[in-house]
Amino acid sequence: MPLAFISHPECLLHDVGAGHPERPDRLSAIHDQLISSGMEVALQMHDAPVVKREHLDRVHDPDYVTGIFAEAPFEGMLRLDGDTFMMPRTLDAALRAAGAVVYGVDLVMSGRNSAAFCAIRPPGHHAERHRAMGFCYFNNIAVGAAYALDVHGLDRVAVVDFDVHHGNGTEDIFEHDPRVLFCSSFQHPFYPFTGHESEVDHVVNIPLSAGTDGKEFRAQATRHWLPVLEAFQPQLVMISAGFDAHVEDEMGQLRLTERDYAWITRELKFIANRYADGRVVSALEGGYALSALGRSVVAHLDALLENG
**pTM check: above 0.85:** yes
Domain residue ranges in the chain: 3-305
The pLDDT, as a whole number, for residue 219 is 98
When pLDDT is cut at 50, 70 and 90, the band that residue 49 belongs to is very high
3-state SS track over the chain: CCEEEEECHHHHCCCCCCCCCCCCHHHHHHHHHHHHHCHHHHEEEEECCCCCHHHHHCCCCHHHHHHHHHHCCCCCCEEEECCEEECCCHHHHHHHHHHHHHHHHHHHHHCCCCEEEECCCCCCCCCCCCCCECCECCCHHHHHHHHHHHCCCCCCEEEEECCCCCCHHHHHHHCCCCCEEEEEEEECCCCCCCCCCCCCCCEEEEEECCCCEHHHHHHHHHHHHHHHHHHHCCCEEEEEECCCCECCCCCCCCEECHHHHHHHHHHHHHHHHHHCCCCEEEEECCCCCHHHHHHHHHHHHHHHHCCC
When pLDDT is cut at 50, 70 and 90, the band that residue 307 belongs to is low
**Would the pLDDT of 65 be above 90?**
yes
Rounded to an integer, the average pLDDT of 120-134 is 98
- The CATH label, of 3.10.450.50, 3.40.800.20, 3.40.50.10860, 3.30.1330.10, for the domain at 3-305 is 3.40.800.20
Which of 293, 296, 287 is closest to 135 using CA atoms? 287
Tens of pLDDT along 174-192? 999 999 999 999 999 999 9
The pLDDT, as a whole number, for residue 197 is 82
The pLDDT, as a whole number, for residue 46 is 98
When pLDDT is cut at 50, 70 and 90, the band that residue 72 belongs to is very high
The pLDDT, as a whole number, for residue 119 is 99
The pLDDT, as a whole number, for residue 196 is 87
Contact 184, 171 (CB under 8 A): yes
What's the CA dihedral at 22, 5, 46, 90 to 10 degrees?
-10
The pLDDT, as a whole number, for residue 242 is 98
The pLDDT, as a whole number, for residue 198 is 80
| Averaged pLDDT score across all residues of the chain | 97
